[in-house]
Structure 1
């Protein structure tokens, strides 16, 4: 991949539509949260009766369930879209079960040997690949995302009531409630 390019993919398991977001800085919790919000803005009309948005994740460094900035951004996203979001994490070394990994493999095979010397080249190549006989929807994310952003414990305390872990699988299954933000208990 081109120097200074990061990518985040969203595979809609309902219709096999692949969306790829290319950024010009690091893949951070903020980059991922913004991409998820933009995807929802573009696709929410297709899901008028949805009661919970379930997102499968690989548990990479930017999306770990203990990353303070990710917790903050996902709680804010749930409250912005007024919908509970449930994160389901694949355990380490189980990427073969994660469908988005097959999309990345298809993209790598498609651009095998291509010279990706700019973000524009990466976007151009990705927009012409196919996944399940469809071209992906490819976006170029402008702006720089700062690495290492952390939320202080005092501020994080306001978000933690909305960050609910499964009792059975607390590390791999997290649900946030889309209640109004504040000090009250989530429903």
Structure 2
């Protein structure tokens, strides 16, 4: 395909970039467009190709046919497509001026200790890793809560591994650590950040603590922070799921997470043939699950809602 039309591959990747979802526990990816629809779109753009050729190319790129049962994530609101278009517009705008585009989320909580971890790994014959027979929590060290920050432009992941609770403060602290350890070295002159996040969880669109702590972060870094939330029921479209979390799951597949050091090291050793690198660190801080943000504190946030879906898209600027 590339040999006959060198522009077709770029056009194809642009289409897929905006319509790709994935499984955070495996490298499997899927697209909301069929091979036929993609072939039709490429033909409209001046790149005629058959749906059979497109089907083969999608498989080469790691895509798989998915049954409805496997991909349905709940009833999507009617505004979903418009929000995806807006997110893609924002991503292109920030990338064009060299500002960071960050995909964020918390990975599934893991138990640290000699517990069985699903999957298999290569070991000398007859020497399986021995783990506890029972999975009682008190037999382990505690929970590991990986919060990821994926830099879309640089294909780089940063993971802050918490030991306490997944809170809004923890989510923002993960962004702060990304900035101090990685971000400011590459984006010191950036005019602002774009954060793409799910609509729920510790970084949810309705979480007061998320916005309040983001205000403090914006004040510290002296840069506006723009947030675009994915619509309800579309978490698998968040790039961090299939670009970072699925690869981490492959790295520690079949290996007991016997200590926090092992968790951090396994995450940090995650690599892919496409150039993904990951930095991880342990967060020993304690986070208050009962934190309340008052109405007065909310009024003090320098928040500007966007015209398009204002509850899902907003910018918090420094005071």
For this structure pair, what is the TM-score category when the shorter chain's length is used for normalisation?
A: 0.7 to 0.9
Matched, 1:6 2:145: yes
Query: What corresponds to 1:183 in structure 2?
Result: none
Give 1:124 shift. Answer: 2.1
Query: What corresponds to 2:263 in structure 1?
Result: 122
CA distance, structure 1, for counterparts of residue 172 and residue 188 of structure 2: 21
Counterpart of 1:121 in 2: which secondary structure?
A: helix
Q: Which runs of 5+ in 1 are unaligned?
A: 181-187
Query: What corresponds to 1:110 in structure 2?
Result: 251
Matched, 1:70 2:210: yes
CA distance, structure 1, for counterparts of residue 277 and residue 195 of structure 2: 22
Counterpart of 1:78 in 2: which secondary structure?
A: helix
Give 1:112 shift. Answer: 1.6
Q: Which runs of 5+ in 2 are unaligned?
A: 1-109, 112-141
Query: What corresponds to 1:156 in structure 2?
Result: 298
Matched, 1:30 2:155: no
Give 1:118 shift. Answer: 2.8
Give 1:26 shift. Answer: 1.2
Deviations 1:13-35 (A, max 9, x none): 11101111101011111111111
Matched, 1:56 2:187: no
Matched, 1:41 2:180: yes
8 A contact 1:5–1:26 mirrored in 2: no
Counterpart of 2:143 in 1: which secondary structure?
A: coil
Query: What corresponds to 1:185 in structure 2?
Result: none
CA distance, structure 2, for counterparts of residue 69 and residue 134 of structure 1: 31
Relative to the length of structure 2, the TM-score reads 0.52
Give 1:134 shift. Answer: 3.9
The runs of 4+ residues in structure 1 deviating greater than 6 Å are: none
8 A contact 2:228–2:314 mirrored in 1: yes
Query: What corresponds to 2:220 in structure 1?
Result: 80
Give 1:84 shift. Answer: 0.6
Q: Quickly say closer, same or farther: Cα 1:114–1:60, change in 2 above 3 A.
A: farther
8 A contact 1:107–1:126 mirrored in 2: yes
Give 1:136 shift. Answer: 0.8
CA distance, structure 1, for counterparts of residue 204 and residue 236 of structure 2: 19
- Residue among 221, 226, 231 paired with 1:91: 231
Deviations 1:134-171 (A, max 9, x none): 43101111221121311122332222xx1221122112
Aligned residues: 177
Deviations 1:103-151 (A, max 9, x none): 1112112212211233222112212221433431011112211213111
Could you say what the CA RMSD is over the residues aligned between the two structures, in angstroms?
1.6
Relative to the length of structure 1, the TM-score reads 0.86
- Residue among 252, 277, 284 paired with 1:142: 284
8 A contact 2:194–2:225 mirrored in 1: yes
Give 1:40 shift. Answer: 1.4
Give 1:37 shift. Answer: 1.2
